[in-house]
Amino acid sequence: MDKFIGTEDLLASAKQTLQDFSDHLVPLTKVQRSVITKFTGFVKADSISMRRNTIKKRSQTKLKDIWEHSPALYVIVCLSCQHPTRLGSPTSMDYLKVLSPWWHGVHHPKGLAAAIEHNQDVLPDLSCQ
């Protein structure tokens, strides 16, 4: 596994991850919940404690931006990356320019929305926005 995931690789992985969802609710697995919990803890972490670690700070900023853009996309990105710091690449600052048009142009399965609704406890709350 590469240390960082570039924007194009993230998009490809997100497309693949989205295919795991359908219009029917399929509960998230323990592993999926664990991954999302790890990302959410990372998003909620104190930014001041990360200020000296630019990789972590960059990753946290990207995740917060994605959460604010779309909670469903946040879940897809979490499940696509597997570890928050993989988003810390300094060369992939165009992530929303690439992800947003794709996200707005694809079908959003009802099962994804239902999974988010049933797993609010592992997602950032509105105070993270």
71 within 8 A of 117, measured Cβ to Cβ: no
Query: How many of the other CB atoms lie within 10 Å of CB of 45?
Result: 13
Is residue 24 within 8 Å of residue 87, measured between CB atoms?
A: no
Helix (H) or strand (E) holding 101: helix 95-105
Instruction: Give the C-alpha separation, 21 to 16, whole Å.
Output: 10
What ranges do the domains of the chain cover?
A: 7-120
pLDDT along the chain (129 residues), means of 10: 79 95 93 96 85 86 93 96 86 84 96 95 72
| pLDDT for the residue numbered 2 | 59
pLDDT at 129: 43
Residue 54 has a pLDDT of: 85
Q: Are 115 and 28 in contact (CB under 8 A)?
A: yes
